[in-house]
Amino acid sequence: MSTLYDVPAPAKINLFLHVVGRRPDGYHLLQTVFRFIGLYDYLNFDRRTDGRIVCESPVPGLAHEDDLVVRAARALQQATGTHYGAQINYQKNIPSGGGLGGGSSDAATTLIALNRLWGTGLSRSELMRLALPLGADVPVFIFGQPAFAEGIGEILHPVSVPERAYVVVQPTQFVPTGGIFSSPDLTRDTFCVTITVFTDWQASVEQKNAVSDLKNQQSVYFGQNDLQPVVFGKYPVVEEANRFIQGLGANPRMTGSGSCLFVEFVTLDEAKAFQQKIVGTIARCQTDNATAVNKTWACPGLLNHPLYDWLHS
């Protein structure tokens, strides 16, 4: 095997995101649940025998040395001593600056795919350790399961999540992560919860859903995203997009550090119907804040990462 084409890198959403403290080195302590969704970047890999990493990035202005895909490939080379290199190109569908983890997912898929293509044989846990210096979100994509995360996001516990679908809304404003976490308006003292608090809450919601008609019900979310009010204060277009979705009768939540919002549905058909409602309303220009929405996707929630079986634990 010398090539791997159309290798998927899924987006993630944070079902909730609590900032519970800050370490002396400035990193924030978090609690969150990561879930993968069916919105993908796709990467192509050709094995090289000269040891070079050559990457054709689709991101305008991104220097070769700064590309997480390149950094991931070189990290695997250095850790294993392989003499192989790679020719890499990839297609971006996950928007940057949206809180969907696209760059982290691309890096994780690169590690998983090249571990396979180069025959380096690292285990899941070994790749996760290699991934952490690349970014706090990279290990969860190698972990490969919905996860309750703590620490800076690197302490991961598998968690069961129900089958759900999501409409993801990208506002017309980019949100850089650094400015949100450094904001003096960010609260950093949300009360810590245990994983059982989340799973017990989820079980109670599922029990109520089992005896009720789920059609067109409002989504009920656990906790909150502590970064959301900071983003809304600094980036009014994101808040406008949120109000637009609320005006259509839905209950959106921001993922990660923004700017993308999501709405949860029980079925993909319901998600697609709501997406069409958004598109139709924008086309008719029925509200002033409709211009705050750039793009939308209707996506299934994934029960596992599509490359989960490519690694052994």
Question: pLDDT-based confidence at 285, cuts 50/70/90?
Answer: confident
Q: Distances from the Cα of 133 to the Cαs of 86, 129, 177, 201, 307, in angstroms?
A: 21, 8, 17, 33, 21
pLDDT at 206: 85
267-278 confidence digits (pLDDT tens): 999 999 999 999
Among residues 41, 67, 106, 137, which one is catalytic?
137
Coil, strand or helix at 36: strand
DSSP 177: H
208 is known as an active-site residue? no
Among residues 6, 12, 92, 200, which one is catalytic?
12
DSSP 161: -
220-236 confidence digits (pLDDT tens): 899 999 999 999 999 99
Residue with tokens 């697609």: 272
Instruction: Return the closest-CA partner of residue 262 out of 281, 286, 282, 238.
Output: 238
Global confidence as pTM: 0.94
Q: How many CB atoms lie within 10 A of CB 285?
A: 9
**Residues 153/14, Cβ–Cβ less than 8 Å:** no
Question: pLDDT-based confidence at 212, cuts 50/70/90?
Answer: low
Coil, strand or helix at 14: strand
How far is Cα 137 from Cα 94, in angstroms, rounded to an integer? 15
* Residues pairing with 91 in the sheet: 42
137 is known as an active-site residue? yes
**Of 161 and 176, which is predicted with more confidence?**
161
pLDDT at 134: 96
pLDDT at 1: 76
Share of the chain above pLDDT 70, in %: 96
Question: pLDDT-based confidence at 218, cuts 50/70/90?
Answer: low
pLDDT at 10: 98
How far is Cα 269 from Cα 7, in angstroms, rounded to an integer? 26
pLDDT at 162: 94
Q: Distances from the Cα of 63 to the Cαs of 60, 69, 120, 131, in angstroms?
A: 9, 11, 27, 20
H-helix or E-strand spanning residue 51 = none
Mean pLDDT for the chain overall: 93
pLDDT at 289: 80
How far is Cα 251 from Cα 219, in angstroms, rounded to an integer? 6
pLDDT at 215: 55
